Amino acid sequence: MELAEMIRALRTELNEAVADGADQPVQFELGPVEIEATVAAQRTAGGHGKIRFWVLEGGADAAHTSARTQRITLTLQPKVRTSKGVLTTAYVAGEEVDGER
């Protein structure tokens, strides 16, 4: 899975949590979100070459012995864009799910 895909999935989950909590009397300010992942960097050749980061699943390190892996931590500060285009604090609410901390 590409790092961008993992962040996209996280954004989708956060958007769902915000939408679920919009009409709840108790809401929580969404603070920094910290993600830790093991990634492998891959450089594509050519005139417009770029580097892509692939998130490795647990136990997948042995399958990627030819790639250098790194552990990275990203701290994201989620914001919500209002109808007037202003970025503001996000609030979430909803039922606790199994395994949630």
Provide CB contacts within 8 A for 18, sequence distance 6+. 30, 80, 90, 91, 92
Q: What confidence category does residue 3 fall into, taking pLDDT thresholds of 50, 70 and 90? A: confident
pLDDT of 47 > 60? The answer is yes
pLDDT at residue number 64 = 46
Q: Is residue 97 part of a domain?
A: no
Q: Is residue 23 part of a domain?
A: yes
Q: What confidence category does residue 85 fall into, taking pLDDT thresholds of 50, 70 and 90? A: confident
Q: Is residue 19 part of a domain?
A: yes
- Of 35, 38, 41, 39, which is closest to residue 73 (Cα–Cα)? 35
Q: Is residue 101 part of a domain?
A: no
pTM for this structure?
Answer: 0.64
Q: pLDDT tens, 17-41?
A: 888 888 888 888 888 889 888 888 8
Taking all residues of the chain, what is their mean pLDDT, rounded to a whole number? 78
Q: Is residue 98 part of a domain?
A: no
Domain that holds residue 85: 3-92
| Number of domains forming the structure of the chain | 1
Q: Is residue 81 part of a domain?
A: yes
Q: Is residue 64 part of a domain?
A: yes
pLDDT of 50 > 70? The answer is yes
pLDDT of 15 > 50? The answer is yes
Provide CB contacts within 8 A for 3, sequence distance 6+. 37, 39, 52, 53, 54, 55
Q: Is residue 66 part of a domain?
A: yes
pLDDT at residue number 60 = 52
Q: What are the beta bridge partners of residue 79? A: 89
